[in-house]
């Protein structure tokens, strides 16, 4: 039985010694959150100068302006956000350099990927990681999503460990020190299979920045902008990774991917990945919001001066409404032959059976070896392995589940989702 975890200091956190020391240290730093300083440091670190097409620059400047104007950010939060932008700038340089030296990468074909689209906290992570255990499928581990291209001249050490993996492992250790309950809500260890959305980061695109910090200006820009070029950029990086594996045509590689953002970009997803098999997960949005904002509020103890439960409730309720309105409107564009709906309660009742249904729709046989690999993953990753967080929407966020659920009548009318939080 998983140990229950109740976070009793969500709104008024009691910091541990490591959290307090980190906040105190960050307060002494001068964090320059500007496009100029970020690009200059990325160039100095990599020894490269070509960032490719400059259309990304206004997006980077918008993010810096958004976060510079946020007086609620603690300096530790500013430092974390700057480091993320710096990571993306470094990757952009390395990706651009690789594409310049190897233009044949653009010709690599991606072979009928399986893509999971669904609300965050709706089983997408478990579904992706489960299918990724099938050795026939290529997935994106966290360490590779953060640094898809090695630094110039960088090679695995004598122990065979890629330096990118080692850096990600060290970052995970630091995250666990700063947020010890994170593993129970969303593991971020190097081998964890991550969202391909991270590959849009070097193009300074996607809704992912909203997860790092509430960003209404960025959200409005994202809403108003055609995301097709950014999906194409992501696809190019997937081609690059396929090529780096040695599959220079793409014929041997079948990717398995997932991202919640796809829910509000289904027409773009279908346009950029026309032969993809898309599995759309569905879960009670009240349960999703409850889980997501609890996790975000827990993270704010390190990044903001004051934890803002009500602001998180409002922001992410509106975002989930937008995601589900788009899904309800655009679901049919995927077509029945190359898509399937995955109801959370059915998936949780028999996850292997659901994967088999997805495979059948994708034309992928469930072989004895594949079944054994999936069962081995399930045995090694039981639910609640790191403890089970007990959520309290009423107590922590002051809202009645049924009152919140009324915002989603349109969604329950379209999909047979089971109510979870009462």
Is residue 1's pLDDT more than 80?
no
What are the phi and psi torsion angles at 115 (to 5°)? Answer: -125, 130
Q: 């409107």: which residue's tokens? A: 329
Average pLDDT over residues 374-380: 96
Nearest partner of 391 among 129, 179, 178, 184, judged by Cα: 184
SS3 per-residue string spanning 255-316: EEEECHHHHHCHHHHHHHCCCCEEEEEECCHHHHHHHHHHHHHHHHHHHECCCCHHHHHHHH
Least confident of 85-89, 177-181, 357-361, 372-376: 177-181
422 in any annotated domain: no
DSSP annotation of 153 reads T
Q: Rounded to whole angstroms, how far apart are CA atoms 18 and 203?
A: 34
What pLDDT sits at residue 140?
Answer: 98
pLDDT in tens, 75-103: 999 999 999 999 999 999 999 999 999 99
Residue 357 lies in a domain: yes
38 inside domain: yes
Residue 384 has pLDDT above 70, yes or no: no
Q: By residue range, what is the domain housing residue 9?
A: 4-414
Residue 2 — pLDDT band, cuts 50, 70, 90?
low
Is residue 366 included in any domain, yes or no?
yes
What total number of domains does the chain contain?
A: 1
Q: Which of the given ranges, 156-165, 177-186, 276-285, has the highest pLDDT on average?
A: 276-285
Cα gap 408→219, rounded to integer Å:
21
The answer on pLDDT for 415 being more than 60 is yes
168: burial class by Cβ within 10 Å (0-12, 13-18, 19+)? Answer: buried
pLDDT at site 34: 98
- The answer on pLDDT for 190 being more than 70 is yes
Q: Judge whether 279 and 336 are in contact, CB under 8 Å.
A: no
DSSP characters for 169-202?
Answer: HHHHHHHHHH-TTHHHH----TTSB--GGGGGGG
Residue 421 lies in a domain: no
CA nearest neighbour of 10 among 212, 295, 300, 298? 298
The DSSP line for 343-396 is EHHHHHH-HHHHHHHHHHHHT----HHHHHHHHHHHHHS-TTTT-EEPP-HHHH
Residue 136: give its domain's CATH number: 3.40.50.300
Residue, of 79 and 381, whose pLDDT is higher:
79
Residue written as token pair 């009324």:
406
**How far apart, in whole angstroms, are the C-alpha atoms of residue 93 and residue 51?**
5
> Percentage of the chain surpassing pLDDT 90?
90
Residue 209 DSSP label:
H
Interatomic CA distance for residues 147 and 302, integer angstroms? 24
How would residue 268 be classed by pLDDT, with cut points 50, 70 and 90? very high
In a domain, 420, yes or no: no
DSSP 3-state of 73 = strand
Is 349 inside a domain boundary?
yes
Q: pLDDT tens for residues 312-328? A: 999 999 999 999 999 99
Is the model's pLDDT at 411 over the cut of 60?
yes
Average pLDDT, the chain: 95
SS3 call for 117: strand
310 inside domain: yes
How do residues 140-175 score in pLDDT, each as one tens digit? Answer: 999 999 999 999 999 888 888 999 999 999 999 998
Strand partners, 339: 278
Could you tell me if 122 and 99 are in contact, meaning their C-beta atoms sit under 8 angstroms apart? no
Chain centre distance of CA 211: 9
H-run or E-run covering 20:
helix 17-27
State whether residue 95 is helix, strand or coil.
Answer: helix
Q: Which residues are CB-contacts of 367 (< 8 A; sequence separation ≥ 6)?
A: none
């Amino acid at each position: 039985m998983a140990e229950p975890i109740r976070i009793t200091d969500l709104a008024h956190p009691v910091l541990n010694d490591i959290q307090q020391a980190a906040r105190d240290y960050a307060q002494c730093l001068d964090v320059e959150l500007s496009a100029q300083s970020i690009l200059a440091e990325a160039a100095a670190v990599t020894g490269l100068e070509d960032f490719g097409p400059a259309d990304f620059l206004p997006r980077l400047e918008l993010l810096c302006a958004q976060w510079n104007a946020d007086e609620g950010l603690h300096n530790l939060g500013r430092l974390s956000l700057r480091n993320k932008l710096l990571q993306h700038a470094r990757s952009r340089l390395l990706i651009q350099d690789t594409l310049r030296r190897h233009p044949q990468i653009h010709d690599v074909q991606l072979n009928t990927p399986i893509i999971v689209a669904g609300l965050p906290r709706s089983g997408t992570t478990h579904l992706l990681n489960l299918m990724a255990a099938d050795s026939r499928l290529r997935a994106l581990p966290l360490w590779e999503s953060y640094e898809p291209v090695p630094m110039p001249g960088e090679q695995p050490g004598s122990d065979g460990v890629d330096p990118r993996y080692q850096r990600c492992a060290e970052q995970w250790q630091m995250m666990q020190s700063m947020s010890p309950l994170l593993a129970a809500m969303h593991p971020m260890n190097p081998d964890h299979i991550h969202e391909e959305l991270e590959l849009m980061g070097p193009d300074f695109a996607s809704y992912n920045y909203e997860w790092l910090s509430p960003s209404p200006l960025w959200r409005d820009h994202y809403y108003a902008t055609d995301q097709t070029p950014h999906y194409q950029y992501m696809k190019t990086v997937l081609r690059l990774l396929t090529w780096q594996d040695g599959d220079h045509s793409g014929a041997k590689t079948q990717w398995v991917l997932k991202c919640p953002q796809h829910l509000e970009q289904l027409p773009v997803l279908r346009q950029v990945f026309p032969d993809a098999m898309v599995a759309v997960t569905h879960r009670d949005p009240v349960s999703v919001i409850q889980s997501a904002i609890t996790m975000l509020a827990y993270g704010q103890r390190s990044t903001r001066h004051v934890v803002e439960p009500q602001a998180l409730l409002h922001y992410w309720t509106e975002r989930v409404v937008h995601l589900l309105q788009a899904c309800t409107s655009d679901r049919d564009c995927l077509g029945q032959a190359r898509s399937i709906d995955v109801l959370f309660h059915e998936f949780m009742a028999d996850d292997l059976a659901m994967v088999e249904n997805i495979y059948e729709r994708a034309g992928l046989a469930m072989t004895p070896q594949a079944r054994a690999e999936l069962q081995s993953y399930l045995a090694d990753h039981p639910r609640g392995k790191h403890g089970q967080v007990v959520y309290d929407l009423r107590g922590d966020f002051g809202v009645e589940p049924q009152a919140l659920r009324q915002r989603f009548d349109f969604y329950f009318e379209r999909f047979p989702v089971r109510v979870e939080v009462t």
